[in-house]
Structure 1
Amino acid sequence: MIWGAIGCNLISDLIILNSFINTDVYIKDILKKSKIIDLANQEHGIFNWIFQQDGARPHTSKKTIKYLKKRCMLLDPWPPNSPDLNPIENLWSIMDKRLENRRPDNEENFIQILKEFWDSITWELLENLILSMNKRIQLVINRDGHSINGFY
Structure 2
Amino acid sequence: MTFQHDNATSHTAHSVCDFLQDRNVSVLPWPAKSPDLNPIEHAWDLFDRRVRAGAIPPRNVRELAGALVEEWGNISQQELANLVQSMRRRCTAVLNAAGGHTRYWLLLF
Q: TM-score, normalised by structure 2?
A: 0.75
Alignment of 1:60-79 (within 5 A): 60-69=12-21, 70-76=23-29, 78-79=30-31
Tell which has more relative contact order, 1 or 2 (C-alpha 8 A, sep 6+): 2
**Against the structure 1 CA distance between its residues 115 and 71, is the aligned structure 2 distance closer, same or farther, given a 3 Å change threshold?**
farther
> Deviations along 1:91-116, whole A, 9 cap, x unmatched?
11111211221151401322210121
Greater share of helix: 2
Any stretches of 5+ residues in structure 2 without a counterpart?
none
Name the counterpart of 1:98.
50
Superposition RMSD in Å: 2.3
Q: How many residues of Structure 1 are paired with residues of Structure 2 in the alignment?
A: 103
> Deviations along 1:13-55, whole A, 9 cap, x unmatched?
xxxxxxxxxxxxxxxxxxxxxxxxxxxxxxxxxx3xx321123
> Deviations along 1:58-111, whole A, 9 cap, x unmatched?
3212222222233433124x3222100111111111112112211514013222
Amino acid in structure 1 at the alignment position of 2:15: K
Q: Quick check: 2:94–2:102 contact (8 Å CA) kept in 1?
A: yes
Runs of 4+ in 1 over 4 A off after TM superposition: none
Name the counterpart of 2:85.
131
Greater share of strand: 1
Any stretches of 5+ residues in structure 1 without a counterpart?
1-46
Amino acid in structure 2 at the alignment position of 1:73: S
Q: How far, CA to CA, are the matches of 1:115 and 1:92 in structure 2? A: 12
Q: TM-score, normalised by structure 1?
A: 0.57
Name the counterpart of 2:37.
85
